[in-house]
Amino acid sequence: MIKAGVVGATGYAGNELVRILMQHPEVEITDLTAHSYVGKKFNEVYENYRDINEMVCGDFNMERLAEKCDVVFLALPHGVASKVVTEEILQKTKVIDFGADFRLKDADIYEKWYGVKHFGKDILKDAVYGLCEVNREKIKGKQLIANPGCYTTCSILSLRPLVAEGLIDLDSIIIDAKSGVTGAGRGLNIANMYDECNESVKAYKIASHRHTPEIEEQLGYAAGKKIVLQFTPHLIPMNRGILATCYAKLIKNVSYADVKAVYEKYYKNEYFVRLTKEGVFPETRWVKGSNFIDIGFKIDERTGRIIVIGAIDNLVKGAAGQAVQNMNILFGLDEKTGLELVPVFPV
């Protein structure tokens, strides 16, 4: 059995991770830590675990976890992992970081966008960006995995085949993305209160969202050149889900069948990537509670653009599910192990 520790277990992503790991046939959760709930039973924080999970939340001690666990999941905000993950820690355990500390290869770009100092520059080169469908071979055998962000997972997987095959003008990419409120975390914030966001939709972090350089960097690898794109996130009054509507100018005369063949080239054998039928477009309700990403597209012959739509559950494929998929790769398991979750509807 893989011994796993979950740091930040009582956040939304941490809770989702616990739910998935408890159903994983090859995992034993040895430790749950939660800064605000030390000494409390996990099922006192989340009543849905009553009589199911009797574990008590402990304090966070990275050295102790490294000695005890085969893998440590850090479901924490940015700025923490780079302080506690060291070469010595990585000699003892594998780390899957939900935060942004090891996603960007340039620490200066990280510090510019996140506004905090990066303390792990010496191990940044050893981190692998854990987008499984893209970096599967790079992930195998590694010790430090940077779990991608939710907006980024949806946006990159939706656009990557078009970028890699040179079908679109890279300077024309616009990503218009919407997220459920859980994407903002479980902390108290007036802007995320029910009566503040219900019956309203708003754009935020316009031209400044921190996932922008992550999307640009990863799509840049696919293109073989630097990419600068427009990314605008929106908050939607629903619990969970990401819908990314991506626009780009086509530079080749292609048909629906041509584009479909390109997507099948990259994703035909990817269990968690589902291409919708022609004329059917992704909706968040069809992926909730699952590790799937649904992708659909339409060519607008009038404007010469292609519109690609991607949908994921931000807490599963955008966080906890992808982390477990990464863990499965690290330990040589079938990627689907513990993740064959049928989307929940209605919810």
The answer to whether 59 and 20 are in contact (CB under 8 A) is no
Catalytic-labelled residue, pool 57, 69, 132, 150: 150
User: Which tokens sit at 54?
Assistant: 């009797």
Check if 150 is active-site. Answer: yes
User: Which tokens sit at 312?
Assistant: 């994921």
What is the rounded CA–CA span in Å between residue 130 and residue 31?
A: 23
- Which residues participate in catalysis according to the annotation? 150
